[in-house]
């Protein structure tokens, strides 16, 4: 056990020396203020356009705008379904006197996690995970590591455990940076604001039979749990790519293409049944909490969780089989 702990510590030092975690912090320190400013300007512009700070007037105007778009006969059918669900949901918030986007740092954190779970967070994870094996093969340090009297599976497991630790650290940093920086503009209150969840999409209609109120802090914890699960799966797939592909830039290109493909398929391959089995199409787990229309027909919380679990397990197994059986030095 002590030997394994030393391996994990050694792998942690390697990642620390590569400054990858500092790159993540720099990205967050630059991009989050931009997102905060963009949201602030959007709120300010909406208030000026409507001539009021009343959120109900703003929400009513959004409903009217969506209904006007629904009257457009040239609107694609998938967009029509999405707008119908959105109007029903916004009307539900209005009828129950609940502001879905009350200003505050907790609300920003919630929105940031919901928007970042499909691409932004996976990209941050990829920065750390993609070269955890391939980087050492390229540098030539893998040969020295494998000559030690330690089983290969134990070496790879130490790398995987280290990756899990840094993925968790990345998620923590995302929350801390988002909360602190957005709070400077929107304030730090709002943890106990009521949030509606339990919306179910049933054949392009909104089922509100199971809708219930929870405090925002509980909703954020649930969203964070789903984001952490997505990050682990993406990290595990990146880990497998790092084992299979010796060249780190090539591996990064493969993962980047796979992540972007999810968004493209969600928009342009809505009629292709097989698209829902691709892992990157199933990353929007927080959509099921907020009641958004799934990107493809046939998707549900249970299906997406099962799909990502299978992808993660298969990637984990492939990584260990290849690493322990093949020549990882030459």
Residue 96 has pLDDT above 90, yes or no: no
Q: What does pLDDT average to over the chain? A: 85
Q: pLDDT tens digits, residue range 283-312?
A: 999 988 887 777 777 788 899 999 999 999
Mean pLDDT (whole number) for 130-142: 72
Q: pLDDT tens digits, residue range 204-241?
A: 666 667 777 889 999 999 999 999 999 999 999 999 99
Q: pLDDT tens digits, residue range 31-59?
A: 999 999 999 998 888 778 777 777 788 88
Q: What is the dihedral of CA 221, 222, 228, 231, to 10 degrees?
A: -130
- Residue 145: per-residue pLDDT: 64
Per-residue confidence band for 113, with pLDDT thresholds at 50, 70 and 90? very high
CB atoms within 10 A of CB 210: 9
Determine if the pTM surpasses 0.85.
Answer: yes
- Residue 271: per-residue pLDDT: 66
Transcribe 60-125 into DSSP letters.
Answer: HHHHHHHHHHHT-TTS-HHHHHHHHHHHHHHHHHHHTT--TT-SSHHHHHHHHHHHHTTTHHHHHH
- Residue 300: per-residue pLDDT: 85
d(CA 132, CA 137): 9
d(CA 3, CA 9): 10
């Amino acid at each position: 056990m002590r030997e394994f702990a030393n391996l994990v510590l050694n792998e942690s030092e390697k990642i620390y020396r590569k400054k990858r975690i500092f790159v993540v912090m720099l990205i967050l320190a630059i991009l989050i203020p931009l997102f905060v400013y963009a949201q602030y300007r959007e709120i300010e512009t909406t208030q000026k356009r409507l001539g009021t700070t009343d959120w109900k007037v703003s929400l009513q105007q959004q409903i009217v705008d969506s209904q006007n778009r629904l009257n457009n006969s040239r609107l694609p059918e998938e967009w029509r379904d999405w707008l119908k669900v959105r109007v029903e949901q916004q009307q539900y918030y209005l009828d129950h006197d609940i502001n879905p986007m009350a200003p505050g740092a907790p609300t920003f954190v919630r929105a940031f996690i919901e928007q970042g779970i499909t691409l932004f967070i996976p990209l941050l994870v990829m920065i750390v995970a993609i070269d955890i094996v391939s980087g050492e093969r390229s540098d030539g340090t893998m040969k020295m590591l494998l000559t030690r009297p330690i089983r290969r599976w134990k070496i790879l497991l130490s790398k995987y455990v280290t990756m899990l630790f840094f993925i968790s650290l990345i998620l923590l940093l995302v929350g801390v940076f988002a909360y602190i920086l957005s709070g400077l503009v929107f304030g730090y209150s709002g943890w106990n604001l009521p949030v509606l969840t339990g919306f179910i999409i049933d054949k392009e209609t909104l089922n509100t039979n199971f809708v219930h109120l929870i405090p925002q802090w509980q909703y954020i914890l649930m969203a964070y749990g789903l984001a952490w699960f997505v990050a682990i799966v993406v990290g595990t797939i990146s880990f497998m790519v790092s084992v299979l592909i010796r060249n780190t830039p090539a591996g990064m290109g493969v993962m980047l293409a796979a992540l972007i493909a999810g968004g493209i398929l969600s928009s342009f391959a809505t009629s292709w049944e097989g698209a829902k089995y691709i892992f990157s199409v199933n990353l929007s787990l927080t959509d099921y909490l907020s009641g958004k229309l799934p990107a493809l027909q046939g998707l549900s919380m249970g299906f997406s969780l099962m799909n990502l679990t299978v992808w993660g397990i298969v990637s984990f197994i492939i990584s260990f089989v290849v690493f322990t059986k093949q020549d990882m030095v030459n």
